[in-house]
């Protein structure tokens, strides 16, 4: 079933000061909500970004600037997918501002499995996006 969740704005990435994570802030709205709500999606650098970049995509090389841009692009892609996963999981069904942490620890089980399935399925298109945007 398609979601009626509408993303109005996305801001980030932000470096989380107290943990090894990056985050994006989403402003989301459903038709039956009076006002938009905020969703902060955190992406673990080690367990989600590095896993995608080094294990799934086997990405290496590039200048420091290209590496930084690669990280930004992949963190955004992961955050977007995590938003879809938690919406499908029902975590965004109520009108609340929420924070979605990294899919590690307690959330590592079924939610990380869904994220990993997406990573494997989108491997080719993610590689092509990096090639198109970074030239490597």
The pLDDT confidence band at residue 62, using thresholds 50, 70 and 90, is confident
CA dist 136 and 133 (Å) reads 8
CA dist 100 and 83 (Å) reads 8
> For the chain, how long is the longest CA-to-CA vector?
47
The pLDDT confidence band at residue 2, using thresholds 50, 70 and 90, is low
Give residue-wise pLDDT tens across range 99-111: 999 998 766 678 9
CA dist 74 and 129 (Å) reads 10
Residue 4 is predicted with a pLDDT of: 87
At residue 68's C-alpha, the angle toward residues 38 and 117, to 5°, is: 60
* pTM of the entire predicted model: 0.92
């Amino acid at each position: 079933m398609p979601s009626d969740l509408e993303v109005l704005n996305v801001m980030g990435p932000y470096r989380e000061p107290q943990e090894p994570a990056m985050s994006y802030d989403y402003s989301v709205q459903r038709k039956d909500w009076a006002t938009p709500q905020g969703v902060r999606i955190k992406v673990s650098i080690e367990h989600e970004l590095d896993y995608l970049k080094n294990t799934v995509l086997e990405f290496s090389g590039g200048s420091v600037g290209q590496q930084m841009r690669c990280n930004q692009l992949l963190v955004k892609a992961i955050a977007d997918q995590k938003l879809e996963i938690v919406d499908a999981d029902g975590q965004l069904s109520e009108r609340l501002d929420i924070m979605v942490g990294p899919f590690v620890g307690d959330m590592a089980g079924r939610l990380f499995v869904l994220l990993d399935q997406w990573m494997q399925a989108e491997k080719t298109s993610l590689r092509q996006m990096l090639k198109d945007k970074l030239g490597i």
